[in-house]
Amino acid sequence: MKLVTFLSWLTAFYSFSGCWAAELSFLVEPTDVIAVRDRPLMLDCQVQGEEPITITWRKNGVPVPSTPRVRVLENGTLLIKSFQKRREGVDADMGEYDCAAQNRYGLLVSRKAKVHLASLPKFHTHPASMSVDEGGVARFQCQIDGVPEARITWEKGRVLLNTTDSRYTLLPMGILQVTGVRKADAGVFRCVATNIANTRYSHEATLNVTGGTPRTYKEPVILSGPQNLTITVHQTAILECIATGNPRPIVSWSRLDGRSIGVEGIQVLGTGNLMISDVSLQHSGVYVCAANRPGTRMRRTALGRLVVQAPPEFLQWPQSVSKPAGGSAVFTCVAQGVPEPHLIWLKNGKVLMPGHNIKLTNNNSTLALTRISSEDEAIYQCIAENSAGTNQASARLAVAQGKDLPEAPRGFTGKALSTHALQISWDQPPTNVTESIIGYVLHIRKIGEADSLELQEAISKGNFQHDVTNLEPATTYSLYLKAYSPMGASQQSHTVTVTTLGGVPAPPTYFTKVLNSSAVQVLWELPTKAGVVEGFRLSYRRVPHADYQSPIQLPCYVNAHTMSNLGVCVSVCACTIHLCLCEGAHRHTVTTVLGLAGQHCHRHPYRHRLHHLLCSLPHVWIPSQVCIHALCMFSCCSLLIL
């Protein structure tokens, strides 16, 4: 059946008519932000749609009251003149904010924006003093939880460390690596953390450099291997790996699953740290850092798991619809992400729960509303959430009253045209009704299939007859028709069932059974699907006559017939078996026919060789030196399906 995407067809009509042109949508939504105490903060929210539009703000689901310190600007932006940490014992301005836009069609809620207060608490990990042999490896680390994340620098002797020396590697997670340590590297180190809230200094750590004598052999040792890391797509991942030994080990990377790490966006920091820029989902996996002793197979390994998450993205959005009161509406929302997003539905900004006339299925991806009324007219939003982020899509349900909708098509009929086509027709409505109709939609479904497998085909408004093609032969279909105006769909026409014509049947499989010297029974298989079978016609002839007897007409439900009074021996319509004896390039044909009382009349030039074979008929056993040239079980009979 030639199908069109009814949704796009209908949307085009509605857009042209202006039915959905006034829908609310966000141009700018608020985003996560970090505020500074006692400084102003602005959260943006811009929408488009039919005026007038009212914009309000909520914090943690509660409306934000307008005060001299907090107000909504004319363009919808929320302004907090002086951001406060705590007021009267509770968090004043931190929390999750969203904006809500409302016009006469409904209410639309933006994504939630997390507002944090900039802070920089004390270090929870300070660098530790250490002693390292000359030529060895030193590593210092400090850790601090800043909002936003602090920038870490290092000082030696309270002077900013010169990191132009390639032996010094600074990693963003507060790590300082020094390779090929020299006497001049000895000293006092500390890290400095800085963000918009504050600057803090760690405790000092002393690096002592020992040695000076020839270093002895030392097996490879990984001082610090990769840690498990979870990040979001497009961020940068850094996996640490620093090793020591004598001679200095060679650090290499691989994936535990054997896949190639690749080269695009891959960089080695220092002597062995792996940096992956602009990570994608394909970068997820377990990474293996190996420290090899040069020239040998001796090595040490360390593992770290990289988990890459992706925020929700919509594969299918809910589409706005107009439905008559008492009808049903279905919204579909399909999203993908890592981890798999959780879906919730909102009706005019409030969470929608199943019950009454509301049904959520397919892990909340399908919202079905039944027995809809004017109370169901609203903006419905699908919110997709996972640990990597959120996304939202919306659609409007317009409930049309009966007086605003076209009448159901009248005189709807259908008939079969061929094995693969049906024709439907209906009465042309009055002129005043035709002007309001923008098109028709045919609903067609195979009898016995679920309603969810129903197909829809759009028909232009000027047609009152339509051919449905590419159907299956000998198949019964259920069909009904709806008329559409810019306000929605009519009630459906009455339902008709039509069966396509059956195709030309294939010859049936049949076989024969000898009952006695003058009677043969023919049996055949009834066709499983050949349309409306009118019956069977059985023809037969006597060997060696060429003409068939007048055909025997049989009903469609019969699958066996006995032919009697056929006569005996050569004069009967018999099973003729042709056998050939293979002797080099020569073939010798022998013919056997059924004789009186089951005896066999046989003639052949090699009686001494085949006598035992022919006398064993009809249960034939063929020795290895004899091959079948042709075998025909009553091939003189023909069976025809009408």
pLDDT tens for each residue of 359-396 = 999 999 999 999 898 899 999 999 999 999 999 999 99
Please check the confidence at residue 285 and state whether its pLDDT lies above 70. yes
User: What does the pLDDT read at residue 568?
Assistant: 56
* Element holding 434 (H helix, E strand): helix 431-434
Mean pLDDT of all residues in 425-454: 86
More confident residue, 462 or 144: 144
What mean pLDDT is reported for the chain?
A: 83
| Dist. CA 499–CA 504, nearest whole Å | 15
The CATH topology of domain 22-117 is Immunoglobulin-like (2.60.40)
More confident residue, 512 or 383: 383
CA-to-CA dists, residue 238 to 275, 281, 388, 586, angstroms: 4, 16, 19, 84
Rounded to two decimals, the pTM is 0.63
Residues pairing with 520 in the sheet: 514, 563
17-69 per-position pLDDT tens digit: 444 456 899 999 999 999 999 999 999 999 999 999 999 999 999 999 999 99
Residues pairing with 80 in the sheet: 41, 70
Mean pLDDT of all residues in 595-619: 39
Class of domain 317-400: mainly beta
| Dist. CA 209–CA 580, nearest whole Å | 102
| Dist. CA 490–CA 488, nearest whole Å | 7
Please check the confidence at residue 494 and state whether its pLDDT lies above 60. yes
Q: How are beta strands 299-316 and 285-292 bridged, if at all?
A: antiparallel
**Which CATH superfamily does the domain covering 505-642 fall into?**
Immunoglobulins (2.60.40.10)
CB atoms within 10 A of CB 320: 19
User: What does the pLDDT read at residue 407?
Assistant: 85
For 372, the 3-state DSSP assignment is coil
Note whether 291 and 273 are within 8 A (CB).
no
User: What does the pLDDT read at residue 86?
Assistant: 74
Mean pLDDT of all residues in 241-249: 92
Q: Which two tokens stand for residue 404?
A: 């605003």
| Dist. CA 280–CA 263, nearest whole Å | 14
92-133 per-position pLDDT tens digit: 899 999 999 999 999 999 999 999 999 999 999 999 999 999
Ranked by mean pLDDT, which of 316-330, 547-561, 587-601 comes out on top? 316-330
Domain limits, the chain = 22-117, 317-400, 406-499, 505-642
Are 22-117 and 505-642 equal in CATH topology? yes
User: What does the pLDDT read at residue 552?
Assistant: 87
| Dist. CA 216–CA 246, nearest whole Å | 7
For 404, the 3-state DSSP assignment is helix
Note whether 314 and 393 are within 8 A (CB).
yes
Note whether 440 and 459 are within 8 A (CB).
yes
Of 180-184, 327-331, 485-489, give the lowest mean pLDDT range. Answer: 485-489
Q: Which two tokens stand for residue 313?
A: 């993205």
CB atoms within 10 A of CB 112: 21
Phi, psi of 584 (to 5 degrees): 65, -130
| Dist. CA 637–CA 512, nearest whole Å | 10
**Which CATH superfamily does the domain covering 406-499 fall into?**
Immunoglobulins (2.60.40.10)
| Dist. CA 201–CA 312, nearest whole Å | 39
* Element holding 8 (H helix, E strand): helix 6-17
CA-to-CA dists, residue 412 to 3, 327, 493, angstroms: 20, 21, 7
Please check the confidence at residue 564 and state whether its pLDDT lies above 90. no
For the chain, give the percent of residues with pLDDT over 70: 81
163-194 per-position pLDDT tens digit: 888 999 999 899 999 999 999 999 999 999 99
Confidence band, pLDDT 50/70/90 cuts, at residue 609: very low
CB-based burial, 476-505: b 16+ in 10 Å, e otherwise = ebbbbbbbbbbbbbbbbbeebebbbbbeeb
Could you say which DSSP state residue 607 is in?
H
